[in-house]
Structure 1
Amino acid sequence: MSIGGARKSGSVRQCLSSLEAGSIAPDAYWMGSRMVYKLLRAWRTPLICVVGSMGLLLVLHQLLAQLPPSNSARSSSSSSSVNRKSPGLPAQAQLLPGLPRIDVDPPAVVVDDEKNRPLDLKTVLHQNAQQHWAQGSRRSHQCAPYPRYEDLVFKNPDFQWVTVGNLSYFFYNAYYDCRPAAPEVMVLAMVTTVTGPYPAAFCQLWYEDGGQPDLVPVTDTKVGWYDVWGDVEGIAYPTMFSCVVPEPDIRVPQLVSLVFGSRCAPARNALIVINAQVPQRPPPNSKQQQLRTGVCVKFLSFPDRDVSDRMVEWLELLRLLGVERVVAFDIGELTANTSRTLAHYADVDGLLQLRPHQVLEEQSDDWDLRSRLTEVLMYNDCLYRNMYEFDYLGVFDVDEVIMPLGELLSYRSLLQQLQQLDVNCSARSSFCFRNVYFPKELAADPALPQQFYMLSHVTRVADHLDANLAIKCLHNPQLVTLTHNHFPMRWRAESCGPMDVPVHIGQMQHYRHVDDEETLSRPTPVRDDNILRFRQQLVQNCLDVHRRLGWT
């Protein structure tokens, strides 16, 4: 600061001191004011710069506040919001009901496919009802008023409950099926009859653009069970209802309601129609076709047993065989360590899709029957969710594996071999493999690594089961329309149906106790170590996962 500047500053301080003391004469006020004026005039340039800089910073701050967050910040904020509020529900849907999720940049690790995340039915119904959908009071004479969320009755979060006469319908999911020449909406439910009769039913098909729904009759009812297996009053059986979609080339239904008696009846159920995208695939006979394979598994129930090591070995073996995705259902009956292991495969690895499910509780105490019926429901949900993504879908349990034999080392090579042998059929619904037991009662080979259950158990019973007992299949999802856990129950008219695969080509290896204990000794069990073809790579892959999980 210059000497002159110091003097000016000192004069101002003296003036202010005098004013505060109240001891300065009136003329001195005027002189002090002139001194302040001169001082401000001398410092006008620095003051203008300071004020201008502050204004510029304020403008920049407001502009930055309007910009979208960075990728990392957006990903972190979105994931924390989803976990904190409602798992599986997009954060945008929670903050702004009715808006679809939009990801500008995909996350580094894909936890789940967007099409497999459940939409918020409550939000969809409320949002659409406020717009230009079919309006009108339920007391009016309007045909098929738009369904109200408040009229739906949930047996549990996964099932909507409707009673018709002495029957109970528990609606689970709906799917858009464009495989047939006339595309259909398929409604999967549990119904308290296995033989019928069923009351006249209609589908009310609602679209995103609102307006009146299409009202079409149910054209087919398929039950995933035979009454000779068990017909217990009060238990609900997996049932699929079909409704043909009018003008499928123009629009796809967003919602479906099943109503009874009259097609105009107010709906007491509403299901979002799952519309799996059809991938761009090479023609069936193209050399570029890669025969993609997935696996459907029932609910996992191991509440008191840690099966982490078994799950790692099983999943890694499926990966070596060429499986691209395993779909299983979590009903909340897993130990903490098993859940942690499966979370690795679902959230980090991506091989596993673990779908939460709440089992339908009914009055009957026959849990064995109810669990088997629940399995059928899950297998068909898996089939219809993945029917366009895979060329074949396997249906088997976590203690089972369909094993190619001889020089065949993958499902792709196995299926190609079977297609070449199947000269009498160009549209085979399923290839089914005979069951053979590798029971724990037959001792493990001590020369093999004991921490790997399947690798060390290489002795099996001598004979395969009959072709009609406990088989497991690889299904062509373009042809199968309803499946049981052991075989397809319905398939399209152009299909030849299932094929019994010769046991020298492939077999279904079952790692559990036998049904007939006599087979543990007679005929004499045999060594079957075909799994050792995968030993080196399987052990390496499993140990790598063990290290990732921090196992010693």
Structure 2
Amino acid sequence: MESSFIQGLAHNVPYEYWMHEKAKNSSSKNKPKPKCAFFPSVFDLRFNNNYWQTLRSSNGTFYLYGAYYDSRKIIQQPVVRILGMIDRLEPTVKSNCLFWYDIAKDPLVMPVVEYKYVWNKKWGNYKQGLLQPYLMTCNLPNPADLVDKGFKLGQIPVSVSLTEKGCEPPTNNLLINNKVPAEKKRFAVCVKGLDFLQVDLSVRLVEWIELLGLLGADKIFLYELEVHPNASKVLQHYQETGQVELTPISLPGDQPNLPGLRHLYLKSKIINKRQNELIPYNDCLYRNLNSYDYIALLDTDEVIMPREVSTWNELMEKVLAEVPSNKSPSSYNFRNVYFWDDAEHSHTWHHDIPRHMHMMQHVYRSYNYTKPRAFVKCFHDVQRVMTLHNHFPFACLGGGCTSHGVEPETAHLQHYRGDCQTKKNCDVDFKQFLVKDTTIWRYKEDLIYRVDAVLKKLGFLNEDDDGYR
């Protein structure tokens, strides 16, 4: 019971395996001394800010967040990926993966074959000494070597340690994610680290989560830096229903993690903020390689809205039918359009909709869309993308990345904001051209029923209050 609880908190540490094997091997006498390295005790690992493990090399410090078994067909041979941040540009230090198959046996050592930079140097912060996001790749040992070492053919390692010299005492040991569900589902949504310490978005979160459920999102994966207590109550409810998975996260290295101070840091250091966001986005992708066909990276004020059909599944059937048979896009992008937070309330409320239903009440949007490929969001094909950014893939498998632009008449990204993301020319280009778009009202009855049921259950709405004022 205690082991499962701790494992749930320390999601990237092979804690349960270590405890089980330690107990099993404690009575063994004359245990052979390993020729390479001992499986490290959890208490010998060097942690950083709770959720990161470290490697201090001769040329830079590695902050490691997660490890993943990648057996997608397009890469032919399975590999293990390690996601983290390094305080070096284009690392030159040679490092190695120590694959742990059995706590009582030596690890098998394989070199890191790629440091994939998960950023664009033209976007800034391209300086030596600053933390940079990387995805590292190690090939797995040859099957014949596995058998020679006494392991089973096709056996998958339990965990991996990253070292500089190969056989040396490791300071990290990452549990290898290899979740294989009984049935693959269609759509997952990934949300970067929530940072709303003083802003109560609880009611809006309920509306957003319920709407995504109606559209066809099978599960929403959210990462948490800090949220308001009411929002925490909402997220706890949806974790219990299985609609949401919430993962706490922190900033690595010397970055501040004190609530409030961290918020100000991310608000003032925008490029650092964007680089940090790439860790939860790509962790979400790799934790779900075998679980979903498509992943969407959305903020809680965004919705990919079908305009001709009712669900994402129907939408993708329509979109795929339009893609030429000789094309295999790595993603499908949707144009961004602003739905203004304040435009409707300067006129009137819709009296057949509860006032707490933010998206349902705000149906005035800009007539103009942002430019093609600007501020878009995508459905990413999980089998084809290698690294993800907020708007597009950075790198893809089987060649370069290609993104199919979905026509706005078919579907678009509804973005609920009080202003443009870039305020220059916002009034001229967007705010003065308004159009009423009630596509969301297609879900009105179901959404109102679902939202109010949850709000009443959580005590945010009185049983005799229907929300109409």
Q: Tell me whether the two structures share a fold, i.e. TM-score over 0.5.
A: yes
Hey, what does 1:186 align to over in structure 2? 81
- Picking from 283, 291, 295, the partner of 2:189 is 295
Asked whether 1:548 is paired with 2:466, we answer no
Asked whether 1:169 is paired with 2:76, we answer no
Hey, what does 1:395 align to over in structure 2? 297
Say if 1:134 and 1:212, in contact at 8 Å, map to a contact too: no
Hey, what does 1:326 align to over in structure 2? 220
Q: Distance in 1 between matches of 2:371 and 2:227?
A: 33
Asked whether 1:235 is paired with 2:130, we answer yes
Deviations 1:242-275 (A, max 9, x none): 1111229520001111122x33333222111111
TM-score (norm 2): 0.83
Hey, what does 1:456 align to over in structure 2? 361
Deviations 1:274-324 (A, max 9, x none): 11115455xxxxxxxxx6111000111111121111001100100000111
Deviations 1:129-154 (A, max 9, x none): 856999538xxxx3344434454221
Hey, what does 1:275 align to over in structure 2? 178
Deviating more after overlay: 150-159 vs 427-436: 150-159
How big is the shift at 1:350? 1.5
Q: CA distance change for structure 1 residues 502 and 494 in 2, over 3 Å: closer, same or farther?
A: same
- Picking from 17, 33, 38, the partner of 1:136 is 33
Higher RCO (C-alpha 8 Å, min separation 6): 2
Q: CA distance change for structure 1 residues 269 and 124 in 2, over 3 Å: closer, same or farther?
A: farther
2:413 counterpart letter in structure 1: M
Deviating more after overlay: 223-232 vs 378-387: 223-232
Hey, what does 2:154 align to over in structure 1? 250
Deviating more after overlay: 381-390 vs 425-434: 425-434
How big is the shift at 1:359? 2.6
Hey, what does 2:234 align to over in structure 1? 341
Three-state SS of the structure 1 residue aligned to 2:180 is coil
Q: Distance in 2 between matches of 1:326 and 1:118?
A: 23
Q: CA distance change for structure 1 residues 481 and 278 in 2, over 3 Å: closer, same or farther?
A: farther
Three-state SS of the structure 2 residue aligned to 1:185 is strand
- Picking from 408, 418, 423, the partner of 1:516 is 423
How big is the shift at 1:425? 4.0
Q: CA distance change for structure 1 residues 379 and 242 in 2, over 3 Å: closer, same or farther?
A: same
- Picking from 339, 343, 349, the partner of 1:446 is 349
2:58 counterpart letter in structure 1: G
Asked whether 1:423 is paired with 2:324, we answer yes
Which of the pair has more CA radius of gyration? 1
Three-state SS of the structure 1 residue aligned to 2:193 is strand
Say if 1:133 and 1:210, in contact at 8 Å, map to a contact too: no
Q: Distance in 2 between matches of 1:520 and 1:345?
A: 38
Asked whether 1:377 is paired with 2:279, we answer yes
Say if 1:186 and 1:243, in contact at 8 Å, map to a contact too: yes
How big is the shift at 1:361? 4.7
Q: Percent sequence identity over matched residues?
A: 30
TM-score (norm 1): 0.72
How big is the shift at 1:371? 2.5
Q: Distance in 2 between matches of 1:266 and 1:543?
A: 55
Three-state SS of the structure 1 residue aligned to 2:192 is strand
Three-state SS of the structure 2 residue aligned to 1:218 is strand
Q: CA distance change for structure 1 residues 118 and 206 in 2, over 3 Å: closer, same or farther?
A: closer
Q: Distance in 1 between matches of 2:45 and 2:10?
A: 24
Q: Distance in 2 between matches of 1:117 and 1:225?
A: 23
Deviations 1:186-221 (A, max 9, x none): 11111113x313311211111037422221111222
Deviations 1:500-544 (A, max 9, x none): 221111111111121236433545222222111111211111111
**Unaligned regions of 5+ residues in structure 2, if any?**
147-152, 257-264, 463-469
Q: Distance in 2 between matches of 1:277 and 1:419?
A: 26
Asked whether 1:471 is paired with 2:373, we answer no
Higher share in strand? 2
Higher share in helix? 1
Three-state SS of the structure 2 residue aligned to 1:499 is strand
Tell me how many residue pairs correspond in the alignment.
429
